[in-house]
Amino acid sequence: MGVKEELKGMSNLKQKLTSRKFWITIATVVFIILSEGLG
């Protein structure tokens, strides 16, 4: 895997981290896990 590929992956990751859908998904998953754990 070349350096260019690595950088491309990094910018992709940055886009994902700033995407609202990504955070909503994380929040939902965490919420479900907590609910299951408490239930």
> For residue 10, what pLDDT is reported?
83
In this prediction, residues 24-34 reach a mean pLDDT of 96
Token couple for 21: 């859908």
3-state secondary structure of 10: helix
Token couple for 19: 């995407």
pLDDT(29) > 90: yes
The average confidence (pLDDT) of the chain is 88
Q: How far is CA 19 from the centre of its chain?
A: 9
> For residue 1, what pLDDT is reported?
65
pLDDT(18) > 80: yes
pLDDT(26) > 90: yes
In this prediction, residues 2-25 reach a mean pLDDT of 86
